[in-house]
């Protein structure tokens, strides 16, 4: 998977009436199966960038081309489908659904792509993250580290081309940080999935070959 961002703009209006251009990216590229970490301070637009790449948020202008498809030109339903088929998500707070078991949370990651749920693949992923014995446990019955591992498995459930990870280690303790990070990176390598991770932790960033400072290519500005 290749990712190419050009002249991407996204603004919002603050309660006071000020318009902030939170995203102002001239150019950003990622090669297929590349693993990139974005470092930036809070409020710097990291999450907005991920949301715009995945099509959750629409850009004001510019392009986000993933594997030849410009996400910004797709209608909402098209972006949903694209996300369901091509993009995996790992959130900072795991965002597992409490009503569903570990296995079901992973299956949920496949449920919206229109393809048949692959139970064997879901079990395989959970086995890969060391949770083959916790398949039927609900999130409330899992430790924080285990929950994040389920979230990783869910992020890879739809065999995505690109995994977007938003501060995936921020909610786990230091001892588990390395484990989670290694797991995500290894899983992406094994499955030839591109990884774009955002973090504000220099320690996490130091593990990556390619570290990008968001402030180097994103220039937020107050429009008016």
Partner 1 sequence: MNLLTIAWKSLRQRALASSLTALSISLGIMLMVAVLIINGLVTEAFRQNGTGFGLVVGGRGSGDMNLVLNAVYRIGMPGEPLPWRYYDELRNHPYVESAVPMAMGDLTQEGQFPIVATTPEYFSLGYAPGKKFTLKKGGRLLGKYFSAVIGSRVASQNGWDVGSTFQLSHGGMDDHVHTERYEVVGVLGRTGTANDKTVFVDMEAFFMLAGHEKPPQEAIDRLREFGYEVTPQEEAVIKKAAAEMNHEGEEHGDEPHFHAVPNDLKEVSFILVNTKDIMGLPFLAAQINEGVKAQAVNPVPVMRRLLDNVVGNVRTLLLCLTALIVVVAGVGIFVSIYNSMSDRRKEIAIMRALGAHRGTVFSIILGESLLLCLGGGVLGLLFGHGLVFVAAPFIESEAGLILNPWLFEPAELILFPVLMVMATLVGFLPGMTAYRTDVAESLTD
Binding site for partner 1 (CB under 8 A): 47-48, 51, 54, 56-57, 76-77, 80-81, 83-85, 87, 89, 91, 95, 97-100, 104, 107-109, 111-113, 117, 154, 158
* Least Å from the CB of residue 94 to partner 1: 10
CB of 65 or CB of 117, closer to partner 1: 117
β-bridge pairing 162-166 and 87-90 = parallel
* Least Å from the CB of residue 112 to partner 1: 4
CB of 40 or CB of 109, closer to partner 1: 109
CA distance 152 to 125: 9
Sign for the pseudo-dihedral over CA of 213, 150, 52, 2: positive
* Least Å from the CB of residue 153 to partner 1: 13
CB of 7 or CB of 97, closer to partner 1: 97
Q: What are the DSSP calls for 78-99, one per residue?
A: HHHHHHHHHEEEE-TT----TT
* Least Å from the CB of residue 81 to partner 1: 7
CB of 52 or CB of 169, closer to partner 1: 52
């Amino acid at each position: 998977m290749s990712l190419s961002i050009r002249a991407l703009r996204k603004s919002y209006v603050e309660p006071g009436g000020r318009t902030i251009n939170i995203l102002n990216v001239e150019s950003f590229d990622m090669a297929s199966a590349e693993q990139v970490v974005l470092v930036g301070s809070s409020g710097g637009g990291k999450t907005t960038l991920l949301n715009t790449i995945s099509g959750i948020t629409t850009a004001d202008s510019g392009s986000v081309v993933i594997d030849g498809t410009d996400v910004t030109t797709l209608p909402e339903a098209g972006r949903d489908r694209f996300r369901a088929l091509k993009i995996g998500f790992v959130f900072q707070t795991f965002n597992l659904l409490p009503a569903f078991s570990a296995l079901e949370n992973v299956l949920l990651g496949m449920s919206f792509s229109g393809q048949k749920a692959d139970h064997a693949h879901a079990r395989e992923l959970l086995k890969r993250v060391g949770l083959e014995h916790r398949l039927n446990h609900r999130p409330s019955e899992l430790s924080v580290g285990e929950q994040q591992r389920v979230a990783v498995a869910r992020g890879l459930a739809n065999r995505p081309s690109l995994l977007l990870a938003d501060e995936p280690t921020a909610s786990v303790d230091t001892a588990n940080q390395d484990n989670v990070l290694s797991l995500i990176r290894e899983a992406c390598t094994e499955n030839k999935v591109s990884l774009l991770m955002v973090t504000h932790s220099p320690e996490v960033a130091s593990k990556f070959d390619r570290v990008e400072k968001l402030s180097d290519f994103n220039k937020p500005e107050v429009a008016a």
